[in-house]
Amino acid sequence: MATVHLRIGDLVWGKLGRYPPWPGKIVSPPKDLKKPRGKKCHFVKFFGTEDHAWIKVEQLKPYHAHKEEMIKINKGKRFQQAVDSVEDFLKKAKGKEQNSDGKGDSKGKKTSNKPLKILEEDDEDLSALKDPSEKPVKDDPHFHHFLLSQSEKPASSMEPISKRLKIIEEDTGSTSIQAADSTAINGSITPTDKRIGFLGLGLMGSGIVSNLLKMGHVVTVWNRTAEKCDLFIQEGARLGRTPAEVASMCDITFSCVSDPKAARDLVLGPSGVLQGIRPGKCYVEMSTVDPETITELSQVITSRGGRFLEAPVAGSQQLSNDGMLVILAAGDRTVYEDCSSCFQAMGKTSFFLGEAGNAARMMLILNMVQGSFMATIAEGLTLAQATGQSQQTFLDILCQGQMASTFVDQKCQNILQGNFKPDYYLKHIQKDLRLAISMGDMANHPTPMAAAANEVYKRAKALDQSDNDISAVYRAYIH
């Protein structure tokens, strides 16, 4: 972005790290907050969120001059809500001006002591606040930012969690913790002071780690392919040489890998997590695996005095990037509570489902339904084509009915465009179907729909679609 001359009160588009430009307003920082050293920057409050950040001037654009351009390139629902918030703000500001005409000077009015108040900022250049001796808030070669929370107490128990979140107790004994605003741009989170480790930087893990860093968590990363760590090191993460080293260095270590074998190897293999586990250390398994694998990992971690939680996630790469995953947790309840700020950063909702293994069961059922549904949609599209019907019209009708959803619209559009870039790997949904069918066998419960869908995905894999998106199951019907 080009350098612009801006001042307090200006509406802007601000770009933070790898995230898209977001509408905001330049405001005065709190008196006790110093500007990061380095290039000139402004303190911005983002609309539609509670997030505030130091943004370099070259990462800012005037709001009105670039509004049309930004709306064209950003189509997300939360983005549109943020733009609507700006328009509401402008309407209120205009009404305020009209109401104040002829009513005299308002300088004597008492102002609020609330930190980060936006509507009544002084019109003062931010450069006067620069303190050359102040250390940067965050040492980042790409950008400096500081995410502020309106709550100063760490979320280490259910009591403070309930002050910021909606807690839902269900008859089943499960608990749902729903963050008020869990997008990637969300400053209402007070990051835990615990050291966080993260193993596995694939489609899901990468977005999760980005959001943990953005929300101010201290994160150490490891990935089997070390090059994937580089971007996160640039954004402030630390590098662990082995899973064992990460587990020994960190208070809570998360992992998110592809399948049960990878999950076991990560813990039990050479230089694995188990070697770094000491009494009190926490291990959180986020991979979608079978309940038996969870039981085994829970037993070996707790045998060393560690604390175990499973927390697989429902969603996709895009939802991971947006911080809008749904987290299903089970195991040690105290670990779940210790992870509250992490779960708020990465997801919109988290559920606690009781004993270890329950989250794996629930996740496999959810993915079984999703995989079967995607195969049925692909079947419908190809049948429409085979009978001379317009596939686009089929989609238009579908999206006007009871089955209308973002999932259906996006997957069908991708199919019609021939775009199978992975948002969730086809090979992983087939793995989940296989594990769900096996779970049904163990419970002596029939799963004929899942079994049929599984065969279609197996055919798609045979057609070299494993590393494409789940929507590539469509190709199993046309070859």
Question: Which pLDDT score is estimated for 312?
Answer: 98
Neighbours of 355 (CB within 10 A): 14
Residue 305: both structure tokens together:
């005095």
Question: Which pLDDT score is estimated for 38?
Answer: 63
Question: Which pLDDT score is estimated for 129?
Answer: 29
CA distance between the termini of the chain: 46
Question: Which pLDDT score is estimated for 203?
Answer: 93
Handedness of CA 368, 370, 376, 378 (dihedral sign): negative
Structural domains of the chain, with CATH: 10-89 (2.30.30.140), 175-356 (3.40.50.720), 362-476 (1.10.1040.10)
| Cα separation values, 125 from 39, 144, 184, 354, Å | 15, 19, 29, 53
Question: Which pLDDT score is estimated for 156?
Answer: 33
Query: Which residue's structure tokens are 């606040």?
Result: 129
Q: Where are the alpha helices (DSSP H) in 151-270?
A: 158-164, 203-214, 230-234, 243-249, 260-268
Handedness of CA 68, 321, 52, 233 (dihedral sign): negative
Contact between 456 and 473 under an 8 Å Cβ cutoff? The reply is yes
Which residues, 6+ apart, have CB-to-CB distance to 432 below 8 Å? 288, 363, 364, 367, 368, 371
| Cα separation values, 91 from 84, 85, 88, 98, 434, Å | 11, 10, 5, 11, 55
Question: Which pLDDT score is estimated for 476?
Answer: 98
Which residues, listed in sequence order, are joined to residue 60 by a DSSP beta bridge?
Answer: 14
Residue 376: both structure tokens together:
């049925």
Question: Which pLDDT score is estimated for 98?
Answer: 63
All residue ranges of the chain with pLDDT < 70 are 1-4, 17-19, 37-39, 75, 96-188
Quickly list DSSP for 349-384: EEEE-SSTTHHHHHHHHHHHHHHHHHHHHHHHHHHH
**Which of 414, 436, 432, 427 is CA-nearest to residue 462?**
427
